[in-house]
Amino acid sequence: MSQKGQSYKDIVIRQFKKNTPAVVSVYIIFSIFSLALTADFIANDKPLTCVIEGERYFPVFKELNVKMGFSKWQPELLNADWKNIDYESVVWPLVPYLPTSLDYRARYHSPRSGHWLGTDQIGRDVLSGMIHGTRIALAVGLISMGIAIIIGVFLGAIAGYFGGLADMLLQRIIEIMMTIPTFFLIVTVVAFYPGGGIWLIMVIIGLTSWPGVARFTRAEFLKIRNMDYVTAAEALGFSSMRTIFRHVLPNAIAPVLVISAFGIASAILTESALSFLGFGSASTVSWGSILSVARGATYAWWMAVFPGTAIFITVTVYNLLGEGLRDALDPRLK
C-alpha cells in the first residue's frame, strides 16, 4: 500500500534505494565524475603549491588561469623545468605526471613506486593517463548518448504516438540511417576532417546511435498508446503533447534508460576501437589508446589490465544504473 502524499519521484527513489548494486553504481559514477573534474589537481607535472626563494606560488592554478586567458605566467616560471627546481617547500599532486610527460628513465616499467600503474614505451605514466582518460571516457559516453537520446526519443515518441504519415516517414528515416554501415561512416568522416579529433568522433557516434533509441521508443509507444489510460487521457481532452510527455513517456522510458546505459558502454567501446585503428589525435591519451598500445606488447600486462578494467567498471556501472532505474521506474514492480 503506497502512502498518500508521496510524489512519483519519491516512490522511484525509494524503490531505487532497495537495489544495492545500483546504488553502489551511483557512488562509483559520482567518483568517476569527480576524478574527471579534478584530474588536473590529482595528476600534473607541476606542484600544487611551492615556495621558491621566499615566494609562494600555485603553479597548477596558475596554469588553469593562463589557459583560460585570465593571466600570464610569471617570467621566472615560464616553461620551468619543474622537477629540477630548488624548492624550499613543495606540495606535489598525488601523481606527479601529466599523461604526456615522458620519463625516459622509466620505460616499460611494471607497476612500482614512482609509477604506480607502470609506464609505456616512451615513459608515459599509465596512472596519469587513466585519470585524465576518465574525462574522455565520460565525455564520449555522455555526449554521444545525449545526442542520440534527445533526437531518438523525440522522434520515436511522435512516430509511435501519431502513427500514420509521421510514423511512416520516421520509419523510413530510421531505416535509412540503420542501413548505412555506421562504422564505415565514422571512418570516412574522421578521414574527411582529420582535425576533428575526439569531439568529432563523439558527435558522429551520437548521430548514428539515435535510430536505435527511436526504434525502441516507438515500439513502446505503439504498445502503450492503445492502453486504457491513454484513451482516458484523450477522452479527458488532454493535448497530444501533454499525453505523450506526461503520461506515456514515463512508462515508455524504461527501455530507453536501459538502452542509454548500454549505449554509453558501447560508445566507450567504439572510441577505443577507433583508437585501435589509429584515429583520433595521436597525443590525446584515452583508455582506448593505452589499450591499443598494449596489443603489440602483451608482456606489458599493466597496459592492458588497467584500462581494460577501467572500461569494464565504467561500462558495468552504467549498465547497473540503467537496470536499477528501470526496476525503480517500472510501476508494475512494486
Partner 1 sequence: MKRIFIYIVFSMTIFISTGCGGSDESVSNWDVDTSAMHPKDNTGDWIIVHELSDSDGLNPYTSTGAGGTYIYSQNIFEAMMIQDNQTLEYVPWIATDQPVISKDKLSYTFTIRKDVYFSDGTPLTGKDVIFSLKAVKNPFTDAAPLRNYYKDVSKAELVNGDLYKINFTCSEVYFKHDVIIGAGISILPRHIYDPTNIMSSYSFDDLEALLAKFTDNNYSMEQFESESAYQFAQFFNSHEVSRNPVGSGPFIFKEWRTDDRVVLNRSRNYWKSSETESLNLVDRLIFKTVKQYDAALTGLKAQEIDLIRNLPPELFFNQTNSTKFNKNNDKKSFYYPNYSYIGWNNEHPIFSDKRVRRAMTHLCNRAKIVDILYYGEAQPAIGNVYFKRPEYHHGIKPWEFNPEKAKALLADAGWSDTDGDGVLDKVINGVNTPFSFEFTTNQGNEIRKKIGLIMVEELRKVGVAADVHTMEWSVYLDNVRDHKFDAMILGWVIGVDSPDPYQVFHSSQATGRGSNSVSFKHERADKIAEVNRKEFDAEKRKELMLEFQEILHEEQPYTFLVCSKSHLVHHKRFKGIDIYPFRPGYDLKEWWVPSAIQKYSK
Partner 2 sequence: MLNYIIRRILLVFPTLFVITVISFAISRLAPGDPAELKAGVGSSQGLSTGQGRDLNEKMIELIRKQWNLDKPLFYITTIDDFNDDHPKSFFSRLMYRWNGTNNQYHIWTANVFKLDFGKSFRDNQPVFDKIKERVPITLALSLISTLLAYLIAIPLGIYSAVNQHTLWDRISTVTVFIFYSLPNFWIGTMLIIFFGGGDFFDWFPYAGLYSNNYESLSTMGKFTDLIWHMILPITVYTYGSFAYLSRQMRVGMLEIIRQDYIRTARAKGLTENVVIYKHALRNSLIPIITILAYILPAMISGSVIIETIFTIPGMGSLAFEAITSRDYPVVMAVFTISAVLTLIGILLADLLYSVVDPRITFGSKES
- 109 interacts with partner 2 by CB under 8 A: no
State which of positions 270-299 bind partner 2 (CB under 8 A).
272-273, 276-277, 288, 291-292, 294-295, 298
Smallest distance from the beta carbon of 203 to partner 1, in angstroms?
19
State which of positions 207-246 bind partner 2 (CB under 8 A).
212, 215-216, 219, 222-223, 225-226
Of positions 282, 309, 331, 333, contacts partner 1 by CB under 8 A: 282
Sheet holding 89-91, edge to edge: 55-57, 49-52, 89-91
Smallest distance from the beta carbon of 87 to partner 1, in angstroms?
18
DSSP 110: P
Smallest distance from the beta carbon of 50 to partner 1, in angstroms?
17
Binding partner selected for residue 107 from partner 2, partner 1, none, CB under the kind-specific 5 to 8 Å limit? partner 1
CA atoms within 13 A on the CB side of 188: 6
Of positions 49, 171, 182, 281, contacts partner 1 by CB under 8 A: 281
- 73 interacts with partner 1 by CB under 8 A: yes
State which of positions 130-189 bind partner 1 (CB under 8 A).
none
* Backbone torsions φ then ψ of 174, nearest 5 degrees: -60, -45
Asked whether the CA dihedral 282, 288, 292, 297 is positive or negative, the reply is positive
DSSP 57: E
Alpha helices in the chain (DSSP H): 8-17, 20-37, 39-42, 59-67, 126-162, 164-179, 182-192, 197-225, 228-235, 240-242, 249-277, 287-295, 301-329
Q: Which residues pair with 57 in a beta bridge?
A: 50
Sequential DSSP letters for 17-47: HT-HHHHHHHHHHHHHHHHHHTHHHHB-SS-
Of positions 73, 258, 281, 284, contacts partner 2 by CB under 8 A: 258
Binding mask 91-120 for partner 1 (x = CB under 8 A): ---------xxx-x--x-------------
Of positions 4, 7, 81, 237, contacts partner 1 by CB under 8 A: 81
Binding partner selected for residue 140 from partner 2, partner 1, none, CB under the kind-specific 5 to 8 Å limit? none
All three cell numbers of 130: 587513466
* Backbone torsions φ then ψ of 50, nearest 5 degrees: -160, 165
Cα 160 to Cα 230: distance, rounded to the nearest angstrom: 13
DSSP 109: P
Smallest distance from the beta carbon of 21 to partner 2, in angstroms?
9
CB-based contact 268:311 (threshold 8 Å): yes
Smallest distance from the beta carbon of 240 to partner 2, in angstroms?
11
- 122 interacts with partner 1 by CB under 8 A: yes
CB-based contact 103:115 (threshold 8 Å): yes
- 316 interacts with partner 2 by CB under 8 A: yes
- Residue numbers of the site for partner 1 (CB under 8 A)? 66, 72-75, 78-79, 81, 100-102, 104, 107, 121-123, 191, 194-195, 277-279, 281-283, 293, 295-299
- Residue numbers of the site for partner 2 (CB under 8 A)? 162-164, 167-168, 172, 175-176, 178-185, 187-189, 191-192, 212, 215-216, 219, 222-223, 225-226, 255, 258, 262, 265, 269, 272-273, 276-277, 288, 291-292, 294-295, 298, 304, 308, 311-312, 315-316, 319-320, 323, 326, 330, 332-333
